[in-house]
Chains A and B, each alone.
Chain A
Amino acid sequence: MMDELDLLKKDWQRREQEMPRLTFEQIHRMIWKKSSSVVRWIFYISIIEFIAPHLLYLIPSFRSGMNYDVAGSLGIKVPLIILTVLQYAVALYFILQFYKRYREISVLDSAGNLMNRIIRTRKTVKNYVVFCLSMILVFFAVFIGGMVFSQDLMEALQLHPQGEVDPERLKWVVVGIMAVAGVVFTAVMGGIYFLLYGLLTRKLHQNYKDLRRMEA
């Protein structure tokens, strides 16, 4: 019996003449268009994400809210500053890592090598996401801690409840709201990260598994 694939091979080579043909001009125009590769997008998104929160300060109402020193009156200024410095340092480190991964990826590698590098990028992304999410939780925890130990929470938050409200009860309500907000916010951010990075690298992961299976 003749090998079916050899039959196919013949046909495949015969088909060569029937492929579309582009002109010099058409190809020339293409090289100036934007590329849409996965790794490039991971790199871009990480930078956008780093910058985006800072754009919030440009909104006036947000800025005035920030100007009032809630942290100071809650007595958590120092830990917050330490945390912020730490966060920026680590975020910068990750951006550098992304850049390194991005540079490392060269289409000239064999597919297996290229895949390994991309998987490394994926791991870096995963670590980054875990770091960002835990940072959000820690920030909320610090705030909640400050609130619980605050002497006069209403004054610190500049809350002036109308009528008779038990301050102790109100305090726990505020703390509870803060805790729920912390968890919800982390979950929402987790969802966004999943959409951004998870979907972007899903196909890659499948191909990587295929290659691995082949090696096994």
Chain B
Amino acid sequence: MTKELEHQFVSELEINQNIVHKVCSLYTDNREAHNDLFQEITIQLWKAYPKFRGDSKFSTWMYRVALNTAITLYRKSKKQPKTQAFDTVIYKVKAEQYDPTEEKQLNLMYSAIRELGDIDKALVFLYLEDKNYTEIADTLGISEVNARVKMSRIKTKLRTILNP
């Protein structure tokens, strides 16, 4: 029974692991920390898995557990270099799509997002994942209005960074 459950869980996570990787890439800035957080999220998911009844999609449930782990339960490792290794964090855009100005803009935005607080990051993340405000508000436990207000502030902030 446990073996079966375990197998089922691991295969579902394997299919949906992208979500966890994306959360890790926003909340950590080196490979080691990325793997650390990935592991912590995996453990939290596994612990909560028996309570997952399938009333929402596996991926929706994953968003919540992954973000909650990143902003509340995860202990950041002691060594946290302020500088970021760019090539490990910002995955390179494929050559044929390369556009120098756009690339520069995007990199600026990504580094601006990394400077945000944990909660703001979660907001931006859910936004980038194409979640609507109801879902964002529900995941973070704030009201929809607040989610909108906060998001528009973040947008303004990003705009000023891009057009100084």
Residues of A participating in the B interface, judged by any CB pair closer than 8 Å? 3-5, 7-9, 11-16, 18-24, 27-28, 30-31, 33-39, 41, 105-115, 118, 200, 203-204, 206-207, 210-211, 214-215
Q: Which of A11, A19, A34, A39 contacts B25 (CB 8 A)?
A: A19
Asked whether any CB of chain A lies closer than 8 Å to the CB of B104, the reply is no
- A5 B72 Cβ-Cβ under 8 A: no
| Residues of chain B contacted by A111 (CB below 8 angstroms) | 67-68, 71-72, 119, 122, 139-141
Q: How far is the CB of B128 from chain A (nearest CB, A)?
A: 4
- B64 A16 Cβ-Cβ under 8 A: no
Asked whether any CB of chain A lies closer than 8 Å to the CB of B4, the reply is no
Q: Which of A3, A27, A35 contacts B44 (CB 8 A)?
A: A35
Asked whether any CB of chain A lies closer than 8 Å to the CB of B162, the reply is yes
Q: A4-B155, A207-B72 are in contact. Are A30 and B142 (CB under 8 A)?
A: no
| Residues of chain A contacted by B119 (CB below 8 angstroms) | 111, 207, 210-211, 214
- A18 B91 Cβ-Cβ under 8 A: yes
| Residues of chain B contacted by A7 (CB below 8 angstroms) | 102, 105-106
| Residues of chain A contacted by B138 (CB below 8 angstroms) | 110
CA distance A19 to B19 in the complex (A): 10
Query: Per DSSP, are chain A's interface residues mostly helix, strand or loop, or mixed?
Result: helix
CA distance A13 to B68 in the complex (A): 22
Q: A14-B93, A37-B75, A211-B142 are in contact. Are A20 and B21 (CB under 8 A)?
A: yes
| Residues of chain B contacted by A34 (CB below 8 angstroms) | 43
CA distance A12 to B68 in the complex (A): 21
| Residues of chain B contacted by A21 (CB below 8 angstroms) | 17
Count, A-B residue pairs, CB within 8 A: 163
Size category of the B interface is: 35 or more
Q: A16-B18, A207-B71 are in contact. Are A110 and B141 (CB under 8 A)?
A: yes
- B140 A31 Cβ-Cβ under 8 A: no
CA distance A22 to B74 in the complex (A): 21
The chain B residue sitting closest to A15, CB to CB, is B91
Q: How far is the CB of A23 from chain B (nearest CB, A)?
A: 7
| Residues of chain A contacted by B93 (CB below 8 angstroms) | 11, 14
- A109 B48 Cβ-Cβ under 8 A: no
For B27-71 the 0/1 string (1 means CB < 8 A from A) is: 000000010001110111111100100000000010011011101
- A31 B43 Cβ-Cβ under 8 A: yes
| Residues of chain A contacted by B65 (CB below 8 angstroms) | 107-108
CA distance A15 to B106 in the complex (A): 12
| Residues of chain A contacted by B128 (CB below 8 angstroms) | 5, 8-9, 12-13
| Residues of chain A contacted by B115 (CB below 8 angstroms) | none
